[in-house]
Amino acid sequence: MIKSKNWWLITIKGLIFIFLGFYILKFPISGMLGLIIYGSISLFISGLVLATFAVVTRKTHKGWGWQMAEGLLDIILAVILLLNIGLTALTLPYVFAFYGIFTGIFWIFQSIFFKNNQYKFWGVVLIAGLLSLMVGILLFFQPLITALTIVAIIGIMLIVQGFFLTLFSFEISRAHKKGNYGND
């Protein structure tokens, strides 16, 4: 189990994703441009938060490398989105397709690690990973449908990912409160 008093860093990422998802669903017209700019900034910040969490827990968490990789993926994707706003608007379905695919793969591997380490919510992680992977594949192979529905799909995807991250952070908090784990 990951045992850390810094569980709240994952909660912050989850809440950022949930807020961003609801914002996109509420304001779909401005959501596209906002998605590119504010979404990129949020993705960058959440990537930093996740990478920081991975580094902080590296001594007590065997799977910290997967979280570091996901955090770095978030940061790289955010920089690409911000540096090419015009091109991003045209290729947004593919950008999020790859994000969904890679995030899904990370979560599937993490769910196996979690199951082996007796995490209570490992099944939720597996389902979230499979859903993210399926949505990513759908976005990749159906760009026209994606272009017409991207705001809603991305909003829902962010809410689901935010929900998972929040649950995950509470599991880390529970594990930390059960024992004495030092200053990690």
Q: What is the DSSP string of 100-140?
A: HHHHHHHHHHHHHHHHHTT-TTHHHHHHHHHHHHHHHHHHH
Give the whole-angstrom CA distance, residue 140 versus residue 144.
10
At residue 121, the pLDDT reads: 82
Tens digit of each residue's pLDDT, the chain (184 residues): 566 777 888 889 899 989 988 988 888 767 777 777 877 898 899 899 999 989 998 888 787 888 899 899 999 989 988 898 777 777 777 877 888 899 999 999 989 988 998 888 889 889 999 999 998 998 888 877 776 677 787 888 889 889 988 988 888 888 777 765 544 5
For the record, the structure tokens of 33 come out as 């441009």
Of all helices (H) and strands (E), which one includes residue 71?
Answer: helix 64-83
> Length of the chain in residues, anyone?
184
CB proximity list for 181: less than 8 A, separation 6 or greater: 3, 4, 5, 60
At residue 15, the pLDDT reads: 93
Global confidence as pTM: 0.50
Residue 24's SS3 state is helix
